[in-house]
Amino acid sequence: MISNDYMIFAGGSNLPLANKIAAILGKELGTLELKRFSDGEIWVKYGENIRGQDVFLIQSTNPPAENLMELLIMVDAARRASSRSITAVIPYFGYARQDRKDQPRVAISAKLIANLLTTAGTDRVITMDLHAAQIQGFFDIPFDHLYGSSVFREHLDIDRENLVVVSPDVGGIKIARAYAKLLDCGLVVIDKRRPKQNLAEVVHIIGEVENKDVLLVDDLIDTAGTFVGAIDALKSEGANRIYGAATHAVLSGEAINRIARAKIDILFVSDTINFNGTSSGKIKVISASEIFAEAINRTFNNESISSLFNIDKR
């Protein structure tokens, strides 16, 4: 007999989030053995029968590359174990910044990742706030794109009377517009140039921020150089209090120290990436577990996911 239910498993990239998702759904994570050979080779085995089951595999693909490799091997093992369907729940979709050939002789890594996931046997992908929304088109399987603004909207305990939402670059306008509509406030855009990876220069600010409170929003913060540069530019233009909201807290290199020194009141981030650090109390982590749990439940029951978001779809 085939159980009329589903099973949830998690790789090692973000077990705290996976456990929260499972708890909300009234489940326990399935048994999964993840081992390494002495040379680092990854070995995966499902510790229980998944034949004929709908399985959801929770794994972010942030660096190191082992997180992605773990997910691919988990998918392959599930397929060979005769699971009925395999849904990859990827809270943070890594390599999304490489979504186009913007200079000669470079890879389109986001497309490569899509091909790898599909070839391994993934039937559906659920993720949140892709760096470039058009990556959905790289997949030939069902793809559900969740919105980080829905995670933060109930927790943005800031005064909205004198607030404007700021996009740190032109590419983030759609995300910023969604927040502006959600908060019923104005929209400002920072025009910047990026001479090389992880380095950006603010050219000018399009819109009025003088004597305004600012909510600076982005899909991710990596080294925080661009983010802190935007904060400095906004302060120089007369902004009052500055808040931040970023779905994915990559926070590599000197990011934590930069944020600690920055003239920002509070930075809201989600837990799509496992984050244990602190930054002088400036970083507030809000869990995305509820929205992922609801998405899993609706996927299994063939219910609408888009109806979760009463915002401007970007």
Residue numbers annotated as active site: 192
How many C-beta atoms surround the C-beta of residue 41 within 10 A? 10
CA distance 74 to 95: 19
CA distance 304 to 176: 24
How many C-beta atoms surround the C-beta of residue 179 within 10 A? 26
Q: Three-state DSSP class for 119?
A: helix
Per the CB < 8 A criterion, the answer to whether 274 and 241 are in contact is no
Q: % helix / strand / coil in the chain, to the nearest 5?
A: 30, 25, 45
Per the CB < 8 A criterion, the answer to whether 266 and 231 are in contact is no
In Å, how far are 30, 34, 54, 294 from 21, measured between CA atoms?
A: 13, 20, 16, 9
